[in-house]
Amino acid sequence: MKVLLDENVAFRLRPLIVGHDVYTVAYMSWNGLRNGQLLARAGAAGFDALVTTDGNIERQQNPSTLPLAVVVLDAPGNDLSDLAPLVPALLTVLAALAPRAIRHVP
């Protein structure tokens, strides 16, 4: 699965997401794009999922019109120490992720 880490996700999480092709917004030079623009660009570039910590994204986007799936990491912060414990659950979600779905990883 081709996965994009939102700019609010610690880039050091990337190597922990094993078995997937993981890129960051910074690597793609997409910093500063709004959610709608970012989702459209990521979908057009062949990404299957966006991983973010932005819990408001599902209030801002209609899942039926998304060009890719979104996974929201429900963590107390954006640091690697907050996100790394969620990786096993994230990998489970990614393995069964449906297109255009919005899933939370608690």
Into how many domains does the chain fold?
Answer: 1
pLDDT higher than threshold 90 for residue 15: yes
**What pLDDT is recorded for position 1?**
96
Question: Which range of residues forms the domain containing residue 42?
Answer: 2-105
**HEC sequence for the chain:** CEEEECCCCCHHHHHHCCCCEEEECCCCCCCCCCHHHHHHHHHHCCCCEEEECCCCHHHHCCHHHCCCEEEEECCCCCCHHHHHHHHHHHHHHHHCCCCCCEEEEC
The pLDDT tens digits of the residues spanning 17-65 come to 999 999 999 999 999 998 889 999 999 999 999 999 998 888 888 878 8
pLDDT digits (tens, 9 = 90+) for 63-85: 788 899 999 999 999 999 999 99
| Residues 10/24, Cβ–Cβ less than 8 Å | no
pLDDT band at 8 (very low <50, low <70, confident <90, very high): very high
